[in-house]
């Protein structure tokens, strides 16, 4: 199996998933475990199944310089195959996309849009482990150039210099404030048009 793990709820849990290619023809069982060595002792545990091919484990050690190792074993009547995935927790931080993106006109401002959004609900402690955000936007028309700006630490932003009277499509992505891990996927898009003279 090909395994990947991400800490979408850092520092509470690690979520892992796996794929098998080619898809096995026989019924296949999976066993997922993890281990982590600390000060001479090795902690081992089950990665609790969250779906047919996904699992999660918590109580993780932040800033450990010793890798976690996840082991996924596929078993069927033909035999067993295992895959080990070692990682440092901070390297696999990947938030879910930001949520509730809203795009509003600003009264009297024909070239500005107010953007507001929320951190992903799966990110447990945004006040202690802040996120930073990238914004990408484009006019809602063919051949429009997409611009990406950021990072910004707040959950609102005034977009300036936009084309008056034009619908713009906007998305936001999040990353751990310390630059650990990877950016989230882009949020669902939201659209808005700047204020226009009545």
Instruction: Render pLDDT for 124-176 as a digit per residue (tens, 0 to 9).
Output: 999 999 999 999 999 998 788 999 999 999 999 999 999 999 999 999 999 99
Q: Which CATH class is domain 99-192?
A: mainly beta
Q: Is the pLDDT of residue 38 over 90?
A: no
The reported pLDDT for the residue numbered 43 is: 92
> pTM of the prediction?
0.89
The reported pLDDT for the residue numbered 24 is: 83
φ, ψ (nearest 5 deg) of residue 103 = -125, 120
Burial 120-139 (b: 16+ CB within 10 A, else e): beebeeeeebebbbbbbbbe
User: Which of the pair, 26 or 192, is modelled with greater confidence?
Assistant: 192
The reported pLDDT for the residue numbered 189 is: 97
Q: What is the CATH number of domain 2-92?
A: 2.60.40.10
Which of the residue ranges 3-17, 26-40, 159-173 would you say has the lowest mean pLDDT?
Answer: 26-40
How many Å apart are CA 170 and CA 134, to the nearest integer?
A: 11
Residues of the chain with CATH 2.60.40.10: 2-92, 99-192
pLDDT mean across residues, the chain: 95
Strands 48-51 and 54-58: antiparallel
Partners of residue 174 on adjacent β-strands: 133
Q: Is the pLDDT of residue 23 over 90?
A: no
Q: Other C-beta atoms within 10 Å of 106: how many? A: 15
């Amino acid at each position: 199996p090909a395994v990947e793990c991400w800490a979408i709820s850092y520092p509470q849990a690690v979520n892992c998933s796996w794929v098998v290619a080619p898809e096995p023809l026989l019924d296949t069982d999976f066993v997922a475990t993890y281990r982590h060595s600390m000060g001479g002792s090795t902690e081992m545990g089950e990665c609790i199944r969250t779906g047919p091919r996904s699992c999660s484990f918590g109580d993780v050690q932040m800033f450990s310089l010793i890798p976690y190792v996840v082991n996924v074993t596929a078993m069927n009547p033909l035999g067993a195959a295992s895959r080990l995935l070692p990682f440092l927790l901070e390297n696999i931080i990947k938030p879910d996309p930001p949520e509730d993106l809203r795009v509003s006109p600003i009264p009297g401002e024909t070239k500005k849009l107010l953007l507001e959004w929320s951190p992903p609900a799966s990110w447990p402690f945004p006040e202690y482990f802040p996120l930073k955000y990238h914004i990408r936007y484009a006019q809602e028309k063919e051949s429009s150039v997409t611009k990406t700006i950021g990072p910004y630490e707040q959950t609102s932003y005034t977009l300036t210099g936009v084309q008056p009277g034009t619908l713009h499509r906007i998305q936001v992505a999040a990353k751990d404030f310390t630059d650990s891990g990877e950016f989230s996927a882009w949020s669902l898009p939201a659209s808005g048009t700047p204020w226009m003279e009545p």
